């Protein structure tokens, strides 16, 4: 007698909806962080992107046969509706994830690993940031590596949980770095001890694959 197993079906629609809520919950804390090391608008920009992501999701209810659609919704929201630096960068990541899911026909761990890697490459190309510059790259890079090295056959949720753990470790590392790009690079040691807000946004994204982040303080202390 053989035992059948359920296919690894991961809902990108549920993921994006959880991310929307996580971003809204973190808005004030992210704004405060960015007031310390940036332009002070990251919390607003991330929550704006989340708001328009939800509007796109509600306008076109997700189809279980199209795992790319919710990711495309987020990409459109961030690329078209969010200003500053963060909108285009997050938009590129969502766009790359959507393309990879569309090509694979499912949000599998290998597909999302490939999409996240392509997104990281695009962000580094456009933003000209490297590891150690105290940017979102310092969280996204470890998340990409965690996805890439997830055990073969690992469920998508498990691989994304690994990515979230790696991303938060990267967030913690940014607090110890001296910024080499952006406004915070002019603050010198005054920016040390404060995590990069963009990196925190990446942590929120991957953590939301499993659950809504209700309180950012539980992640940052």
Tokens of 198: 């963009």
pLDDT attached to residue 4: 37
The C-alpha atoms of residue 25 and residue 18 are separated, in whole angstroms, by 11
Which residue bears the tokens 């691989």? 159
The C-alpha atoms of residue 105 and residue 156 are separated, in whole angstroms, by 14
Regions in the chain scoring below 50 on pLDDT:
1-6, 183-188
Task: Give per-residue pLDDT as tens, 144-153.
Answer: 999 999 999 9
Those residues whose C-beta lies under 8 Å from the C-beta of residue 29, and which sit 6 or more positions away, are: 43, 216, 217, 220
78-109 burial string, b = 16+ CB within 10 Å, else e? bbebbebbbbbbbbbbbbbbbbbbbebebbbb
The C-alpha atoms of residue 199 and residue 89 are separated, in whole angstroms, by 12
Measured from the Cβ of residue 152, the count of other Cβ atoms closer than 10 Å reads 6
Vertex 85 angle, CA 84 and 86, to 5°: 100
The C-alpha atoms of residue 218 and residue 185 are separated, in whole angstroms, by 27
The C-alpha atoms of residue 97 and residue 71 are separated, in whole angstroms, by 7
User: Taking the model in full, what pTM does it have?
Assistant: 0.91
Which residue bears the tokens 């209700």? 214
Vertex 168 angle, CA 67 and 95, to 5°: 30
pLDDT attached to residue 65: 73
């Amino acid at each position: 007698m053989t035992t059948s197993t359920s296919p690894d079906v991961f809902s990108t629609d549920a993921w994006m909806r959880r991310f929307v809520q996580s971003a809204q919950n973190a808005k004030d804390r992210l704004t405060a962080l960015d007031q310390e090391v940036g332009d002070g608008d990251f919390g607003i920009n991330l929550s704006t992107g989340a708001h328009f992501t939800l509007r796109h999701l509600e306008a076109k209810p997700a189809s279980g046969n199209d795992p790319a659609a919710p990711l495309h919704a987020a990409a459109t929201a961030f690329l078209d509706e969010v200003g500053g630096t963060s909108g285009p960068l997050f938009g590129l990541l969502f766009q790359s994830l959507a393309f990879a899911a569309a090509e694979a026909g499912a949000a599998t761990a290998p597909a999302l690993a490939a999409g996240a890697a392509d997104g990281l490459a695009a962000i580094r190309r456009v933003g000209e940031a490297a590891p150690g510059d105290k940017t979102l790259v310092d969280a996204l890079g470890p998340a990409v590596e965690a996805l890439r090295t997830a055990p073969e056959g690992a469920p998508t949720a498990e691989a994304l949980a690994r990515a979230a753990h790696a991303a938060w470790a990267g967030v913690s590392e940014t607090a110890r770095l001296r910024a080499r790009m952006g406004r915070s690079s002019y603050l010198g040691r005054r920016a040390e001890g404060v995590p990069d807000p963009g990196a925190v946004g990446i942590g929120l994204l991957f953590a939301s694959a499993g659950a809504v982040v209700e309180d950012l303080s539980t992640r940052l202390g």
